[in-house]
Chains A and B, each alone.
Chain A
Amino acid sequence: MLRISCPYCGTRDEVEFHCGGDSHIVRPGPEVSDAEWSDYLFNRKNPKGVHYERWCHDFGCGQWFNVARDTVTHEIHAVYRMGDPAPDLEQ
Chain B
Amino acid sequence: MSQPYRTAEGGRIDLSRPLGFTFNGKPYQGYRGDTLASALLANGVRVVSRSFKFHRPRGILSAGVEESNALLGVDYGSGTLPLIRATRMPLLDGLRAESQNCFPSVNFDLLRVLDYTRPLWPAGFYNKVFKWPSWHAFEWAIRKTAGLGRLPEGEDPARYRHMNAHCDVLVVGAGPAGLMAALEAARAGDHVIVVEQDTEPGGSLLYDPAEINGQSPDNCRAETMQALNACGNVRVMVSATVVGYYDHNVLTIHDCSSAYRREDPAEVFWKIRAGRVVLATGAIEQPLMFGNNDLPGIMLAGAMHQYASRYGVHCGRRVAGVVNNDLAWHSVVALQDAGMEIAAIIDTRDAVNEQVTDLARERDIAIHIGAAPLYARGSYMVRKLEYRDGKGRSGSIDCDAIAMSGGMNPTVHLYSQAGGKLRYDKDLACFTPHECRQQVAVVGAANGEFATPHSYNIGPRTPSPAKTNTQWIDFLHDVTASDIELAWRENYRSVEHLKRYTTVGMAVDQGKTSNLNALTLLGELTDRTPGEVGTTTFRPMFMPVTMGAIAGNRRGDFYAPAKLLPAHEWHLAKGAAFDDYGGWKRPAYYGNNRERCIVREVLKVREAVGLFDGSSLGKIEVKGPDAAEFLNRIYVNTVPTLKPGKVRYGLMLNEKGVAMDDGVFLRLAEDHFLVNTTSAHADRITAWLEEWHQCEWPDLDLVLTPVTSQWAVATVAGPQARAVLGSLPGMLDLSAENLPHMSFASGVFEDGTDYRIQRVSFTGEQSYELSVPADRATALFERIWLVGQAHDIGMFGVESLTLLRLEKGFFEVGVETDGSTNPFDIGFGGIIANKKGDFIGARSLERAEDRRADRRQLVGFEPEERKATVLAGAHIVTGTGSGRRSEGFVTSACMSPTLGRTVGLALLERGAQRKGETIQLYDQGQIVSARIVDTCFYDPDGERMRG
Contacts and interface: CB of A to CB of B under 8 A. Distances in A.
A1 interface: yes
Contact of B248 (A3, A28, A34, A54): A3
Going nearest first, the 7 A-B pairs with the smallest beta carbon separation are A1-B250, A64-B694, A73-B437, A3-B248, A74-B247, A30-B843, A30-B838
Interface in B826-883: 838, 842-844, 846-847
A60 interface: no
Interface in A20-59: 20, 27-30, 32, 34, 37, 41, 54, 56, 58
Nearest to B686: A62
A29 B838 contact: yes
Nearest to A13: B273
A83 B698 contact: yes
B690 interface: yes
A82 B846 contact: no
B703 to A, nearest CB: 12
A3 B273 contact: yes
B696 interface: yes
A9 interface: no
A11 B691 CA distance: 22
A75 interface: yes
Contacts of B844: 37, 41
13 contacts: A1-B247, A1-B271, A1-B273, A30-B842, A30-B843, A37-B844, A41-B655, A56-B687, A64-B691, A64-B694, A64-B695, A73-B437, A82-B694
Nearest to A15: B271
Contacts of B273: 1, 3, 13
A1 B691 contact: no
B655 to A, nearest CB: 6
A34 B846 CA distance: 9
A2 interface: yes
B419 interface: yes
B419 A73 contact: yes
Nearest to B655: A41
Interface in B444-463: none
A58 B706 CA distance: 14
B648 interface: no
Interface string A56-91: 101000111000000001110000001100000000
Nearest to A63: B694
Contacts of B687: 56, 58
B838 A82 contact: no
B246 interface: yes
Contacts of B846: 30
A89 to B, nearest CB: 17
B656 interface: yes
Interface in B628-670: 655-656
Contacts of B655: 41
B246 A1 contact: yes
Residue in B690, B694, B698 whose Cβ sees the most chain A Cβ within 10 Å = B694
Given A1-B250, A30-B842, A30-B843, A75 B694 contact: no
Contacts of A2: 247-248
Given A29-B838, A64-B690, 15 more contacts: A1-B246, A1-B247, A1-B248, A1-B273, A13-B273, A27-B696, A30-B846, A34-B847, A37-B844, A37-B847, A41-B655, A54-B695, A64-B691, A64-B695, A82-B698
Interface in B734-773: none
A37 B248 contact: no
A56 B247 contact: no
Given A29-B838, A41-B844, A20 B691 contact: yes
B248 A82 contact: no
**Range of interface residues on B (Cβ < 8 Å):** 20 to 34
A29 B842 CA distance: 10
Residue in B247, B271, B273, B838 whose Cβ sees the most chain A Cβ within 10 Å = B247
Contacts of A64: 690-691, 694-695
Nearest to A38: B847
B420 to A, nearest CB: 12
Nearest to A3: B248
A64 B690 CA distance: 9
Nearest to A42: B656
Contact of B656 (A30, A34, A41, A54): A41
Contacts of B843: 28, 30, 32, 37
A54 B696 CA distance: 12
Contacts of A54: 695
Contacts of B656: 41
A75 B730 CA distance: 62
Nearest to B437: A73
Contacts of A58: 687
Nearest to A32: B843
A56 B246 contact: no
B690 A62 contact: yes
Contacts of A37: 843-844, 847
A64 B693 CA distance: 10
Nearest to A34: B847
A75 B248 CA distance: 8
B523 to A, nearest CB: 28
Nearest to B251: A1
Interface in B687-735: 687, 690-691, 694-696, 698
Contacts of B838: 29-30
A62 B691 CA distance: 10
A29 B694 CA distance: 18
Contacts of A63: 694
A88 B145 CA distance: 61
B697 to A, nearest CB: 9
A34 B656 CA distance: 12
Contacts of A62: 690
B436 to A, nearest CB: 10
Contacts of A27: 696
Contacts of A74: 247-248
Contacts of A75: 437
Contacts of B271: 1
B490 to A, nearest CB: 34
Nearest to A65: B694
A20 B687 CA distance: 11
Contacts of B419: 73
Given A37-B843, A41-B655, A75-B437, A56 B691 contact: yes
A82 B697 CA distance: 11
A56 B273 CA distance: 22
B754 to A, nearest CB: 27
Residue in B248, B271, B437, B846 whose Cβ sees the most chain A Cβ within 10 Å = B248
Nearest to B692: A27
Contacts of B247: 1-2, 74
Contacts of B691: 20, 56, 64
Interface in B246-274: 246-248, 250, 271, 273
